[in-house]
Structure 1
Amino acid sequence: MRPVVFARITPAVRAPLFRPRAGFQPSGRGWGPTPRLSNSIRSSSSIQSGHIKLAEDEGIIYVNNIFPHRVQWLLRGPLSHIQPLEGILKRINHPDLAAADPTQIVKRAIPQSLDLEIKEVITRYKEGGAFVKYARKPGVKDEEIQEAIKEHLVKSPIRPWFNPFQRADADLVQGRPWIEDLYRVPSASLTVEFLPSASEAPATELTQEALYSLFRPYGKLLDIHPQPSDSKLEPRYATLRFSRPRFAVMARNCLHGYIVSEEEGGGKSSTKFKINYERRIKLSMIKDWIYNHPRIVIPALAALIAAITVIVFDPVRTFFIKMKIKASAHAEENAVLLWIRRQASKANITYFGQRKTDPRGLTAIWEDRQKDITQLEAWLTDTAETFIVVHGPRGSGKRELVLDQALKNHKYKVVIDCKQIQDARGDTAKISRAASQVGYRPIFSWMNSISSFIDLAAQGMIGTKAGFSETLDAQLSKIWQNTAVAMKQVALEGRRKDDKDATMGEDEYLETHPEKRPVVVIDNFLYDSEDSVVLDKLTEWAAGLTTANIAHVIFLTTDSSFAKPLSKALPNQVYRTVSLGDCSPEVGRRFVLSHLNTEGSDDKNEAKTEQVKNLAGLDDCIRVLGGRVTDLEFMAHRIEVGESPQAAVDRIIEQSASEILKIFILGTDTSTVAPQWSREQAWHIIKSLAQSNDGSLLYNKVLLSDLFKDNGEATLRALEQAELISVGSVKGFPRWIKPGKPVYHAAFQRLIENKTLEGRLDLLILGQLIGSENKSISKYEEELQLLGSLPKHPWELTSRIQWLLEKIQGSQAKVLKYERDSSILQKMLQSEK
């Protein structure tokens, strides 16, 4: 930024810069003739030298408040050159209202009676003023000039163009001002450093009283902060805070470089002022505060990121969930697709091969279970707030019954498969699968791993977690919560202003219109009962949906202990339960025949006819398989490819026996979780059920076996969960044990036909029983030894000693029997070739 230099010009050649405006008579304003200007023009700029050079008879006046204080950003842009800005200010100058041209303001600020010669005018746009260098007459003091200018400005105030309610001010520059064009914005606070006036002499730190007397004439002071006494910083300093920035600007420009005498408190060798602006809030202070307070900043940053994520992404995720819920309904309501289907039905067009109205041939099953289907449809139109549980063994057709029959006319439904979520390895995979099932996206599951590392680093630095990473529990809660919001919006979309119940609230509307609510189907519930996080969040969320009348919830489960986790979510509600079992032999026969009597080409129909003729023994095979839908369907497929019913059943029995052998006997299952049963316990039940006439065992008799003494009930529950057995109840109490699938009874019999396998496993059972009895004998003997060590044998212990002896005798008799049986089995195994 370059200063404006003015020179004295003779009247014959007057510079256009000072030519008064046409028709303007300033006599009434009190400034008459213009001050005399120097006829010399300086070749060097004060900006470049940094200081204003003064002669013996020269002085400096600083005129303040003639420009806005904060225009430095403007001067660094397209108006960085001063001359264009001066031209603009001269054009908008209106002395009658407000002054804008710095030349005119300077001439008006100096009274004509002083007859001063102005040597130089140095504008300070960023500080809102200008330095005026003048030459005084002999015998005139600077203090007199100062007083005259102040009195003149009081009588004839100058209003600045940017704020006509204020007025310009002027004061004598007593120090040596520093003329710089650095990017330093003026502020209301000043830092005054105390420097020595000479290199050898020490500086004196001025007191608050001395500073007040020197700086108060320039404006109202709010506070003075001296440097702390224990501070080691040099040079010493003090901070002064003015009530207005313009007061600080005037003080800085008038007292910078001022030498304080001993009388003013500057010490014997005097003290020199170095004054700079101090910013109230520095970026370095903010940075230091952030670095020094990580316990506050890091959690606040985590909360800010979470808030931004919710504001930006939650509406998008809710939109995608709604699209997922309404996807099937849109396809079903598409007029073009419906018309194509009707035309194809009329023309009997083949869809991708042979056209079937019932591809799986389940019509016979649905006719048999029509009562359950009707009951489910009635519950979905009821206003009761409770769960619907469809319980049945694996392969009984629960999913097809609910989705394909009971919900076939329901527009909006969401299916959540617990098996897919619980089978995922790691929290990230579980979150991704849960989100994909409901259409929750975008999902940044990979960010959870990165956030965990950030939390780990924050914990090492501040001692606590920052909260960047979220647990599986929290992530699932967010997914289910957004899904609930989307389902509620979908349920309320059909409302219109002209409806008779338009005045109802949202909750009241959903309560009185249960048919509008979407349906949530939670499949494979209790698939992995050990994964409590997923199950707890699902049941908690499902309870919230039902109690708020947002959706109907249907659980599909194979576990008979479903009441325990559901009772935690709805402790005071009764669940509506549909129990699906195996179909009857008559329905099973119709189901198999429905696969063979479907429509098709003539050649295929002839093949079907031949297959129907070769169905000898079908009824016996169906009795072996029972009414399990998956087994019947497998047999029907094998018959379709040319096998006989007996061959198909033999294949199913062999496959089931291999699965049982792999999972329960040999222990070659790939699951990393240790089973809650032993192979001896599993084989005991398999052999007992195979040898039973009706294929069942009494529950209590199994618990009385020596193999089930310790953890019998837990073992039976685990075997039931693994579907080796099924436990039947009478009035809520376990009564009998049956194979987990009807075909398992034949598979059990097939296993015990293998005498080598039977002998090996029976030998293991005998070894375990011998070990158990030997432990009991050792325990009894220890007690007898303890009683025998007493000095006297009281007669009261006689019965106890007799009881112990009888127990030892009984256990020893069992050991002898088990060893005889064991030797027989060993000889049999050794004799095999």
Structure 2
Amino acid sequence: MIPGRALFRPVARHGLRAPSLAATTYALRHRSPTTAALGQPRRPVQRWESTSGAVGSDKSGHIDAQPNESILFFDNIFPLKLSSVLLWRAWETSELLKRFNSASLSFLDPIGLVKRAIPESAPIKVTEIIPRLKEGGAYVKFTHPDNMTPAEIEDELVKSLDKKPIKPWFNPFRGIKTRLVLGRPWLEDLYRLPKSRLRIEFVPAKDSEPPAELSQESLYSIFRRYGKISDITSQPPDSKVLPKFAYVDFVLVRDAILARNCMHGFVLQEEGSKNPARLRLSYEQRVKPHHIWNWITNHPRIVIPVIAAFLAAFTVAVFDPIREFFLYKWLKRQTSDIFAFRKRRDDDAGLHALFTHRKDLIDSIQNNLLETVETFIVVQGPRGSGGRELVMDQVLEGRRDVLVVDCRQVVEARGEAGAIRKLANQVGYRPVFSWANNLSSMVDLAIQSTTGVKAGFSENLESQIAKILQTTASALKEVSLADRKKKDKDATLTDDAYLEAHPEKRPVVVIDNFLHKSEEKGIVYDKISDWAAALVQSNIAHVIFLTNDTSFSKPLSKSLPDRVFHQVTLGDLTPEVAKHFVVSQLEPDEKSDKEENDNSPTITEKQLRRDLRELDECIDALGGRLTDLQVLARRLKVGQSPKKAVSDIIDQSASEILRMFLLSKGAGEGDKKWSTEQAWYLIKEIAAKENLRYNEVLLSNTFSSSTTAGASNAEAALESLANAELITVKSRHGRPATIRAGKPVYQAAFNRLLDDAVVKARMDLAVLTELAKIEAKNIDKAETELSVLGGLPSQPYQAADRVNYLLAKLQGSQLKIMAYEKEMAGLKKVLAEEA
């Protein structure tokens, strides 16, 4: 229907009155001419045709009414939130009016709700029903007697619903409402969901007339009848946006729906304005002021650290108790897992001889575990000396609650995330999110680059290790107190006093491979040392360090500066014990069934080996290092003779030395602090003398005047070679005194390398070349100083001695270079002739 016009007269100071009944009647009577009046054929109207797709006159989306027809909009017929889910297909058929006429008054049937909302006393006849699913209502077109106006019928229906509310099943708190449609409804099927805010656009009623804008008082008078209004917002005066508009905010969405469907397309003229205005209504998403969110986004320097602190506190409050629980359970079963994988019987038999020899050391460590002294137990020995086997298989055999932390796995892990994951796996710390550290680091970097402030989301390796070790300490304390009972005679003691009085209840923490590659990730060793110190000082656990490094006292003294360590030093085995160890390894694994059933005396394998008489001589060449002895025993068991086995071991060691120390680039590779020439100098001198004086080596030209970058510090070079186990530095009265081969077998390997003419010539040539460079540098210095002295205006007699000294030094260096070159010529000839 094309709306008519209504003139509003102000009746009160606060605003305009609502459309009067006369105005409504005027609006309903003054309609546009129908198509029949214009002489066009009129399409017969089917009152209950399908409503799917476009509806209205000529499928335009608008509803037209005949002169004797009016339209009501019934709200709250369908649920709003479920309209897009529920398929009300029954409302999209051509049987709506028939169903309305025959419908029951069931509260579950939407048609029944419409029928119940129209009292039987109402003198109207329903001619068409058009549902609006997404708006939860329906248009009802009806005819009425000539003696009643549509406004009177509206009043009767409103009063009936107020007196007897009809509440649908899906909304028991709001009844059905109905209002007369004054405008021209637009039945669009766009995806525009109802909102509580309506945008009221003022468009011209005629194309030639400019639009008129209504005041807030007029808008309030028009729309207040549909529901409570929370706010009315007019367009800013300086706005150039056309058409002019205003916002009307309803408290409830249902009220906004009722107002839009009844007033869309309504034409009115405010008193005092020249031109009428047509109201075009649409739903508008209300932009709510997010003051809190705006403050958060505008203050990242304050908010991001607060969020980081909150997340840290949350993870501590939630995950730390879970991790302590897992740690406790893991520690309780860890001891049985450690000792479940026992060595083979032959290994046990061989190690028994070793442990018998070291019985005093084992007893000493076990006694220390029964003391209450707050200090460390340090087991130090060269690599392969059997320190781990001695502690785990003898000292701690049968002991409960043992935790082993292998520093080698942590230090050699790739990246910080790998180190965190390895340490967490060793102590049973879970769940651990090592991958999240890299992600949070990238987020932290991005925030810092944009805001200029570090957010603190990421944690460095130091803080992550400290958190893991701190949680482990809490779990260890629970393990120490697990067997405490209320009936004990010392039940009144505090936890700390109880642990101090019962050292046998404390678990044992074994820190293996301490200071392995100490130059890498030194923070790991510092944190572990501090953690171990806290364990022993709090009487939570005993701590045993297993290390190959002789300088272990430096980092440990930082953690326990006022304590003396219980130190146990492991050396190589004596020839007698070494021979007994090898022979014991040759016992058969187990007796065969024939031997068990046969009572005749058995002949062991070692009695059948006549060549074992060579063992004494071979042991002297091999030395007493445990790992080398085990290799020898395995070779003997497969049938090799002692001499052949030892010779192969020596050749293998010589090849290892050649590859690691002589053919590498020395200080230029892997940040090593020694040169190839320095390594060969030690090999050659130790092969000839076995023992070298420490200071004598420091004063040699190869060490004191090395031309290799990174190897100029002689003491650092010797320390690096000792850590690489090429040599062993023996101390006397706390100072380094002598230098020996790193392992006993290396003494024989050094001699084997000297027997190789090509290797010897090549390495000697490298050493002589460096020595020649050193002398050439000395000559350059002497010549430079002589040039300065020669440039003086006169030759003072006081400079004569200095000149003679420089000339003598220059001559001496030249003679050395000539000798070196002569020797180098012979070495080059060997390299040219030998293959």
**What are the superposed Cα offsets for residues 274-317 of structure 1, whole Å, 9 maximum, x if unpaired?**
322537699xxx9xx99xx9xx99x999x999999998999699
Pairing 1:239–2:247 present: yes
8 Å Cα contact 1:100-1:160 kept in structure 2: no
Which residue of structure 2 lines up, in the alignment, with residue 705 of structure 1? Answer: 700
Cα offset, 1:723, TM superposition = 0.7
What per-residue deviation string (whole Å, max 9, x for no partner) do you get for residues 378-430 of structure 1? 44455666554322101110121122112221234444544455556677876
For residues 762 and 819 of structure 1, do their structure 2 counterparts lie closer, same or farther at Cα, with a shift above 3 Å needed? farther
Query: Residue 589 of structure 1: CA displacement?
Result: 3.8
SS of residue matched to 1:627:
coil
> What is the alpha-carbon distance in structure 1 between the residues aligned to residue 724 and residue 107 of structure 2?
93
Q: Assess if the C-alpha contact under 8 Å between 2:327 and 2:428 holds in 1.
A: yes
Which of these residues, 750, 775, 778, is aligned with residue 777 of structure 2? 775
Match of 1:107 among 96, 116, 119: 119
* Alpha carbons 2:73, 2:181 under 8 Å: kept: yes
Q: Secondary structure at the match of 1:261?
A: strand
**1:529 alignment partner AA:** S
Q: Post-superposition shift, 1:741?
A: 1.6
Deviates more, 1:729-738 or 1:644-653: 644-653
Task: Give identity over the alignment, percent.
Answer: 41
Letter in 2 for 1:697: L
**Structure 1 residues 752 and 133: CA distance shift in structure 2, 3 A:** closer
1:696-726: CA deviations, max 9, x gaps? 2222222122222231011001110111111
Identify the residue that residue 90 of structure 1 maps to in structure 2: 105
Q: Find the counterpart in structure 2 of residue 656 from structure 1.
A: 653
Q: How does 1:615-630 map to 2 (within 5 A)?
A: 615=613, 618=616, 621-630=618-627
Q: Aligned partners of 1:707 and 1:546: how far apart in 2?
A: 46
Please report how far the alpha carbon of residue 768 of structure 1 lies from its aligned counterpart in structure 2 after TM superposition.
1.7
Asked if 1 retains the 8 angstrom alpha-carbon contact of 2:268 and 2:277, the reply is yes
Amino acid of the structure 2 residue aligned with 1:53:
D
AA aligned to 1:90 is: L
Is 2:702 aligned against 1:690? no
Q: Distance in 2 between matches of 1:366 and 1:420?
A: 27
Alignment partner of 2:354 out of 359, 365, 376:
365
Matches within 5 A, 1:296-311: none
Helix, strand or coil: the match of 2:400?
coil
Residue 527 of structure 1 corresponds to which residue in structure 2? 516
Is the counterpart of residue 714 in structure 1 residue 719 in structure 2? no
- Change in Cα spacing, 1:753 to 1:490, as seen in structure 2 (3 Å) is same
Change (3 A) 1:617 1:542: closer
**Residue 41 of structure 2 corresponds to which residue in structure 1?**
none
Return the match for 2:83 from 72, 75, 81. 72
- Note if contact 2:443-2:457 (Cα within 8 Å) is conserved in structure 1: yes
CA distance in 2, matches of 1:86, 1:387: 97
- CA distance in 2 between partners of 1:761 and 1:330 (Å): 50
Separation in 2, partners of 1:208, 1:805 = 114
What residue number does 1:737 align with? 739
Q: Name the stretch that deviates more: 442-451 or 271-280.
A: 442-451
Aligned to 2:49: 44
**Separation of aligned partners in 1, 2:101 and 2:656:** 97
Question: Kindly tell me: are residues 508 and 596 of structure 1, through their superposed partners in 2, closer, same or farther at Cα, counting changes over 3 Å?
Answer: same
SS in 1 for 2:740: strand
Q: Which residue identity does 2:774 align to in structure 1?
A: S
Secondary structure, aligned partner of 2:230: strand
Structure 2 partner of 1:631 = 628
- Please list, as runs of the form range in 1=range in 2, the aligned pairs for 1:62-461 lying within 5 A after superposition: 62=73, 64=75, 70-72=81-83, 75-76=86-87, 90-91=105-106, 101-107=113-119, 127=135, 131=139, 133-135=141-143, 138=146, 142=150, 156=163, 158=165, 160=167, 169-179=177-187, 185-198=193-206, 203=211, 206=214, 208=216, 210-225=218-233, 237-261=245-269, 263=271, 268=275, 270-276=277-283, 278=285, 322=329, 326=333, 329=336, 356=345, 359=348, 361-381=350-370, 387-420=376-409
Alpha-carbon separation, structure 2, partners of 1:74 and 1:85: 24
- Hey, what does 2:571 align to over in structure 1? 581
Structure 2 CA distance for aligned equivalents of residues 310 and 604 of structure 1? 67
TM-score for the superposition, normalised by structure 2: 0.71
Aligned CA distance change for structure 1 residues 57 and 702 (closer, same or farther; 3 Å)? same
Structure 2 Cα separation of the partners of residues 399 and 146 of structure 1:
98
Contact preservation (8 Å) 1:322, 1:490: no
CA distance in 2, matches of 1:519, 1:159: 79
1:88 and 1:332 mapped to 2: Cα distance?
A: 84
Task: Confirm or deny: 8 A CA contact 1:224 1:238 kept in the other structure.
Answer: yes
Structure 2 unmatched ranges of 5 or more = 1-44, 705-711
Going from structure 1 to structure 2, the CA distance change for 1:816 and 1:229 (only over 3 Å counts) comes to farther
TM-score, reference length from structure 1:
0.71
Q: Deviations over 1:17-65 (max 9, x none)?
A: xxxxxxxxxxxxxxxxxxxxxxx99233667434443233443444556
| Alignment partner, residue 766 of structure 1 | 768
| Structure-to-structure mapping, 1:813-828, within 5 angstroms | 813-820=812-819, 822-824=821-823, 826-827=825-826
Counterpart in 2 of 1:347?
Answer: none
Does the C-alpha gap of structure 1 residues 312 and 766 become closer, same or farther in structure 2, counting only changes over 3 Å?
Answer: closer
Contact 2:653 2:749 in 1 (8 A): yes
In 2: Cα distance, 1:508 partner to 1:86 partner: 92
Quote the offset at 1:575 in angstroms: 4.7
Larger mean CA deviation between 460-469 and 588-597 belongs to 460-469
Q: Contact between 1:58 and 1:134, CA under 8 Å: does it hold in 2? A: yes
User: C-alpha displacement at 1:666, in angstroms?
Assistant: 3.2
Identify if the C-alpha distance between structure 1 residues 509 and 317 changes in structure 2 by more than 3 Å, giving closer, same or farther: closer
How far did residue 630 of structure 1 move?
Answer: 2.3
Q: Distance in 2 between matches of 1:570 and 1:671?
A: 37
Q: Deviations over 1:222-261 (max 9, x none)?
A: 3344567898977665433222223323322221222243
Q: Counterpart of 2:167 in structure 1: which amino acid? A: P
Change (3 A) 1:806 1:691: same
- How far off is 1:799 after superposition? 6.3
Residue of structure 1 equivalent to 2:7: none
> Which residue pairs with 1:24 in the alignment?
none
Give yes or no for contact 2:725–2:743 (8 Å, CA) kept in 1: yes
Give the whole-Å Cα distance in 1 for the aligned partners of 2:810 and 2:602: 69
Are 2:549 and 1:559 equivalent residues in the alignment? yes
* 1:221/1:243 contact within 8 Å kept: yes
The answer as to whether partners of 1:63 and 1:106 remain within 8 angstroms in 2 is: no
Aligned amino acid, residue 702 of structure 2: L
Deviation string for 1:638-692 (max 9, x for gaps)?
5556666555544444443333333222338999625422222122222332333
Secondary structure of 2:247 counterpart: strand
**Mapped pair 1:681 → 2:683:** no
How far does residue 772 in structure 1 lie from its aligned partner after superposition? 1.5
Give 1:21's aligned residue. Answer: none
Amino acid at match of 1:745: Q
Task: Tell me if the contact between 2:203 and 2:277 (Cα under 8 Å) persists in the aligned partners.
Answer: no
Determine which of 53, 56, 65 is the counterpart of 2:64.
53
8 Å Cα contact 2:772-2:820 kept in structure 1: no
RMSD: 5.7
Distance 1:828 1:222, change over 3 A: closer
CA–CA separation in structure 2 for the residues paired with 1:674 and 1:613:
47
Partner of 1:271, secondary structure, is strand
Aligned length: 749
> Could you tell me whether the CA contact under 8 Å between 1:189 and 1:280 is conserved in 2?
no
Contact 2:623/2:745 (8 A) holds in 1: yes
